[in-house]
A and B are shown apart, each in its own frame.
Chain A
Amino acid sequence: ETGVTQSPTHLIKTRGQQVTLRCSSQSGHNTVSWYQQALGQGPQFIFQYYREEENGRGNFPPRFSGLQFPNYSSELNVNALELDDSALYLCASSSGQRGTDTQYFGPGTRLTVL
């Protein structure tokens, strides 16, 4: 069974650019959640997708957007990058959208904004 995978591993962008991060969910999972983890902090919830629909959003501006595809893989897009967007972006998949459903995390994408 393949776990959650993310690409790319590392990314360097400059302020004002746009970035797309990708996530493949674990086999059998229909829900993908995205988190931002700043250095030395706990992950912060960005949004969740359940069966291709957004199913909740954290306190992030609209320039953070996402998609989920029919195979349940997902993308996170960030427009107009700011220095504070530098962080580890984590994707997690689960078999449902409830709080009781265990979320399994990928290795993350390290984004650096210069």
Chain B
Amino acid sequence: GDSVTQMEGPVTLSEEAFLTINCTYTATGYPSLFWYVQYPGEGLQLLLKATKADDKGSNKGFEATYRKETTSFHLEKGSVQVSDSAVYFCALGAWTGKLIFGQGTTLQVKP
């Protein structure tokens, strides 16, 4: 069945460091791919999405490119801030309409 695998955390970086969070997926068909962020005690916020191969989603300095050949959707940011500290979830939008999430990656950014 469809699934999403994320790199395990926690990821600890210094402010202004480069961020990569790896995400790979297994799916039948051509799913949409999403990154959501969850701050402590809150629900999920959409960070970015891509609906087809080679699409690049971007928002607030974060980027991810839909790579069909490597079944990946890695999240990147050139310079992280303390305010980026949160849990990041990669998700796949299955043809059935449900979202399938990875297990989440905790990012901690230190000043």
Interface set of A (CB-CB < 8 Å, partner B): 4, 6, 31, 33, 35, 40-45, 48, 50, 55-56, 58, 90, 92, 97-108
Contacts and interface: CB of A to CB of B under 8 A. Distances in A.
B45 A55 contact: no
Given A42-B102, A100-B51, A56 B97 contact: yes
B45 A105 contact: yes
B98 A58 contact: yes
A102 B98 contact: no
B45 A45 contact: no
B32 A105 contact: no
A108 B39 CA distance: 12
Describe B's contact surface by its main secondary structure.
strand
A77 B32 CA distance: 29
Interface string B94-111: 111111111110000000
19 contacts: A4-B43, A41-B104, A42-B91, A42-B101, A43-B44, A48-B97, A50-B97, A56-B96, A90-B43, A92-B99, A98-B93, A99-B94, A99-B96, A99-B97, A99-B98, A102-B34, A102-B46, A105-B44, A105-B45
A4 B4 CA distance: 25
A37 B101 CA distance: 10
Interface of B: 4, 31-32, 34, 36, 42-46, 49, 51, 89, 91-104
A35 B99 contact: yes
A15 to B, nearest CB: 25
A101 B44 contact: no
Contacts of A50: 97
A48 B98 contact: yes
Contact of A45 (B49, B51, B99): B99
A106 B42 CA distance: 9
Given A33-B99, A42-B101, A103-B93, 11 more contacts: A42-B4, A42-B91, A48-B98, A58-B98, A92-B44, A98-B97, A99-B95, A100-B51, A105-B43, A106-B43, A107-B42
